[in-house]
Structure 1
Amino acid sequence: MTIVGAAVLALGATAGPASAAPGDNARITTGYEHTCTIPTDGTLWCWGGNFSGAIGDGTTTNRTAPVRIGNATNWASVDAGTLYNCAVRTDGTLWCWGSNHNGQLGDGTTTTRNAPVRVGDATTWASVSAGDSHTCATRTDGTLWCWGFNRFGQLGIDSAPYYTTAPVRVGTATNWAGVTTGFAHTCATRTDGTLWCWGDSRTGQLGLGILSYRTTPAQVGTETTWTDVTAGYLFTCGVRAAGTLWCWGDNGYGQLGMSGGYQTVPTQVGAATTWSGVNVGDISACASRTDGSLWCWGNNMAGQLGDGTTTTRNTPTRVGDASTWTGNVAVSYHGCSLRADESLWCWGNNGSGQLGDGTTTQRPTPARVALA
């Protein structure tokens, strides 16, 4: 699933929601039970559950510590879907790997891949977002492309193929800035700061005030100040230029950051005006503030909120007292984030080694991860 925005965009459906230009959030991403990161040297590292080949090291062996993927040093951004990943290189090429049962890798097949495979021959890819079983990406010419599962219209192409195995252009607009994919819905921002969503909205996750579907992009309200938007399992959250945080869709675990039931239109979370970015996963969310603090809320069954407990939270709860967290945060049933000193920290579920600490021990607070 990916975090996106008109200015700084990126990543993780069931796990997660990349960027119009690789932004802070494009460097760390969490899938259902795996993690990938791009350090400043442009290398790519992944670890955790690997039965679908999501690690990308040519095997299906789980890894409890980070392993380097290939020899390339020009990776720019990466986004994890539930059981697969896609990433953009600085040369504008797009690569995907892992589960491919609905064509979500975009390589023209439904063959699972345990190492990165190139998507077509274009060299103008700018950002990518991997969902549960569908993927969307933007190009440098401002066009938007989607592929994979389409049962709920999440590809935005106003037609009814069950799935597509190669990128298909969405409409004719040439001012798309970034895109984020959830379980069966998609949202994207344009360079004018508007927000558009499509696909499944049975719990209001499109923000259109409906409980049905849309097979083509529909504008969410009239606001022109969206800077960061991210789609989760059945909900969506975003940040506006004024530093306010908004969420909508399902709220069964407090993942909207408020009490009450589902919301069919964007609803402000609290009164703070210092939010700088947000990332949501299955049924949990984390967001950063301009003071360098990190806050999480929603489902906490595996300690993925990082607050030292397994208590579900329906309001943003601060993660420790550190004030050096960057906007580089991702959450699923585990969470990871970067600090200003480039150190990487993870917490939450670790049954497949997705925390990268060499163990399979669950951790309810952030622990530092060392790249070999």
Structure 2
Amino acid sequence: MKKSLCMPALHKQLAVMAIAGLAISPQASALTAASPVAAVPSSFLSDSSATSIHIPVTQSTAFSQVTAGNYYSVGLRADGSVWTWGRNLYGELGITDTTATSNMIAPVRLSTLSEMTSIASNGNGYQLGVRKDGSVWEWGNRYSTDRESQPPRQLPQISDVSQVSTLNEISFALTKDGTVKAWMRDHETGESSRPVQVEGLRKIVQLDAAAGKGYALDSSGSVWIFSAELKDKQLNLSSPSQIYGLPPLKQIYVYNSTEAYGVDAAGSAWKWSITNASSVIKLSGKASKIYPQLKVKSIQAANGYAVLLTRQGEVWTYGKKPAGKEGKVKELSGIVSISAGDTHCLAIDSKGQVWGWGANQWNEIGVPRNSGDGMEYVPVRIQTPITVVINGKLLPASFPAMMNNNLISVPLKSVVKELGASLDISPVTNGSVYTMKHQQNTVTFQIGSTEAELNGQKLALSSPAYLITGATMIPASLLKQMGIQVVWDSKLSTLSISSS
């Protein structure tokens, strides 16, 4: 298992929506009281059939890259922000509080990452990203423990990087001068070693890594391979050797030694295998074309299958995974980027919208799990990612804000902490009573109830608070009713909350 737009006109059909009982306009506006709406439907908690309003994508909110990991996903937006969703059982997502929830039902923003230009994943919970300034950042499973998560942090000993690729213990970086560096991650501490240069590689334009080997594509279209392994906590790199017998390629993707793919300048897709039975690493047999009738732009692969993106924006699968069918994915068009995971696939369309299909047991597709087998056999659009800003700062939430049935809800504990409010949870016969105090106002409520008390007076809620995968969610309107300023900007898909 391993890793891994176009600006539309602003849609005008989004008139006025009731978000958590608050009327909002398509542009930035203060929220005002609206007519009460029904409580959050039970389908919202477990069934992807629940209707979700999708905010029109703008240049800033468009996604530019996605990677499908093992039961989780990571996305990079054009504004340089990084979002993640799906399983967090082993700290895959890089959020600060790994005990908060075992999975993210919708995209959550990693608040400490900004101005990122590319991302990569080993597919097993560890990610790297490159920032605009050429620095490299890491996040996800610490590797030294089963469940501990490493929040995003910069790797201090490497710079001037344009692309990264990573395995479980060894990572690689393509620097802006076309050379390649490698470093290891200590199994016990999770700390990274000082990068060393991979000698013999020049004019490299793309990197990949799989099954203990690094792959480098140079500017002439030649593919180079080298071994990377750890012995006695030391990184050992073999001298790179060229893989002969391949046509000049423009892009490569290697899942393992028997599932390697590439695309040439003419748009032909190739598959090949390698063998290192002797001291020389070479092709096993001949490279062969797949879907020779297609003009392919790029190819991605996972265990037992590959996904092809054509120059016309079509998506084709080679192999029946992840949804049991092989051939053209008829529901998709205008696609500009793809990613293949062992159990699910992701695609970005020309508007920057992300679509997913395949397994969704852990919400890795970015929608609620359906009530059947947890599969999405046709592509569905992920839930709208929502940025939350509190008192001018990004909310470092351990769970995302969510929009469903025209409602926005926010994670209670994260919001309380950043507002400087207090929260008390007292058990009662029929559940628990939540008491939130902010400045001069005190509100009490229970999960599932559309009634609350504000300073001792009864208060009607537009929708009830609810629990979902370990998080307590409250309607954004409740904050407004407590005298807290709440502003929605649909262009940026941003909810701003202010104490003053």
**Short-chain TM bin:** 0.5 to 0.7
Match of 1:269 in 2: 243
Match of 2:331 in 1: 370
Correspondence for 2:216 among 215, 234, 238: 238
Q: Structure 1, residues 285-339: CA drift from partner, whole Å, max 9, x if none?
A: 211111211011349xxxxxxxxxxxx965432113235111x210002211111
1:317 maps onto 2:288 in alignment: yes
For residues 183 and 301 of structure 2, the distance between their equivalents in structure 1, rounded to whole angstroms, comes to: 23
For residues 170 and 194 of structure 1, the distance between their equivalents in structure 2, rounded to whole angstroms, comes to: 18
Contact (CA 8 Å) 1:103, 1:166: kept in 2 or not?
A: no
Q: Equivalences for 1:138-149 in 2 at 5 Å? A: 138-149=130-141
Over 3 Å counting, the alpha-carbon distance change for 1:183 and 1:172 in structure 2 is closer
Match of 1:331 in 2: 301
Contact (CA 8 Å) 1:329, 1:335: kept in 2 or not?
A: yes
Letter in 2 for 1:89: R
Match of 2:129 in 1: 137
Q: Equivalences for 1:136-215 in 2 at 5 Å? A: 136-151=128-143, 164-199=149-184, 215=193
Q: Structure 1, residues 21-43: CA drift from partner, whole Å, max 9, x if none?
A: xxxxxxxxxxxxxxxxx88869x
For residues 78 and 55 of structure 2, the distance between their equivalents in structure 1, rounded to whole angstroms, comes to: 14
Over 3 Å counting, the alpha-carbon distance change for 1:245 and 1:60 in structure 2 is farther
Contact (CA 8 Å) 1:199, 1:214: kept in 2 or not?
A: yes
Correspondence for 1:99 among 79, 87, 90: 87
Match of 1:342 in 2: 313
Over 3 Å counting, the alpha-carbon distance change for 1:60 and 1:100 in structure 2 is farther
For residues 236 and 68 of structure 1, the distance between their equivalents in structure 2, rounded to whole angstroms, comes to: 42
1:292 maps onto 2:259 in alignment: no
Higher deviation after alignment, 274-283 or 91-100: 274-283
TM-score under structure 1 length normalisation = 0.62
For residues 6 and 261 of structure 2, the distance between their equivalents in structure 1, rounded to whole angstroms, comes to: 21
> How high is the sequence identity, in percent, across the aligned residues?
20
Higher deviation after alignment, 286-295 or 184-193: 184-193
How far the C-alpha of 1:243 sits from its partner, in A, is 1.2
1:226 maps onto 2:204 in alignment: yes
1:109 maps onto 2:97 in alignment: yes
- Which secondary structure does the structure 2 equivalent of 1:196 belong to? strand
Over 3 Å counting, the alpha-carbon distance change for 1:291 and 1:108 in structure 2 is same
1:83 maps onto 2:53 in alignment: no
Contact (CA 8 Å) 1:16, 1:231: kept in 2 or not?
A: no
How far the C-alpha of 1:85 sits from its partner, in A, is 1.4
Over 3 Å counting, the alpha-carbon distance change for 1:69 and 1:148 in structure 2 is farther
Over 3 Å counting, the alpha-carbon distance change for 1:143 and 1:290 in structure 2 is same
Over 3 Å counting, the alpha-carbon distance change for 1:219 and 1:314 in structure 2 is farther
Over 3 Å counting, the alpha-carbon distance change for 1:174 and 1:292 in structure 2 is same
- Which secondary structure does the structure 1 equivalent of 2:88 belong to? coil
Q: Structure 1, residues 14-72: CA drift from partner, whole Å, max 9, x if none?
A: 1333xxxxxxxxxxxxxxxxxxxx88869xxxxxxxxxxxxxxx878899xxx999546
How far the C-alpha of 1:188 sits from its partner, in A, is 1.2
Contact (CA 8 Å) 2:93, 2:149: kept in 1 or not?
A: no
Contact (CA 8 Å) 2:120, 2:129: kept in 1 or not?
A: yes
Over 3 Å counting, the alpha-carbon distance change for 1:192 and 1:62 in structure 2 is farther
Over 3 Å counting, the alpha-carbon distance change for 1:298 and 1:231 in structure 2 is same
- Which secondary structure does the structure 2 equivalent of 1:113 belong to? strand
Over 3 Å counting, the alpha-carbon distance change for 1:240 and 1:60 in structure 2 is farther
Contact (CA 8 Å) 1:149, 1:162: kept in 2 or not?
A: yes
- Runs of at least 5 residues in structure 2 that lack an aligned partner in the other structure: 10-43, 229-236, 275-282, 333-378, 380-500
Letter in 2 for 1:244: S
State how many pairs are aligned: 269
Over 3 Å counting, the alpha-carbon distance change for 1:59 and 1:275 in structure 2 is farther
- Which secondary structure does the structure 2 equivalent of 1:281 belong to? strand
Letter in 2 for 1:81: G
Over 3 Å counting, the alpha-carbon distance change for 1:68 and 1:220 in structure 2 is farther
Over 3 Å counting, the alpha-carbon distance change for 1:39 and 1:290 in structure 2 is same
Contact (CA 8 Å) 1:16, 1:331: kept in 2 or not?
A: no
How far the C-alpha of 1:162 sits from its partner, in A, is 8.9
- Runs of at least 5 residues in structure 1 that lack an aligned partner in the other structure: 1-13, 18-37, 43-57, 153-159, 202-212, 251-262, 300-311
What's the RMSD between the two structures over aligned residues? Answer: 3.7
Match of 2:33 in 1: none
For residues 238 and 100 of structure 1, the distance between their equivalents in structure 2, rounded to whole angstroms, comes to: 31
Contact (CA 8 Å) 1:187, 1:195: kept in 2 or not?
A: yes
For residues 108 and 183 of structure 1, the distance between their equivalents in structure 2, rounded to whole angstroms, comes to: 21
Q: Structure 1, residues 192-249: CA drift from partner, whole Å, max 9, x if none?
A: 1111122379xxxxxxxxxxx9733221114331100112243332201121012234
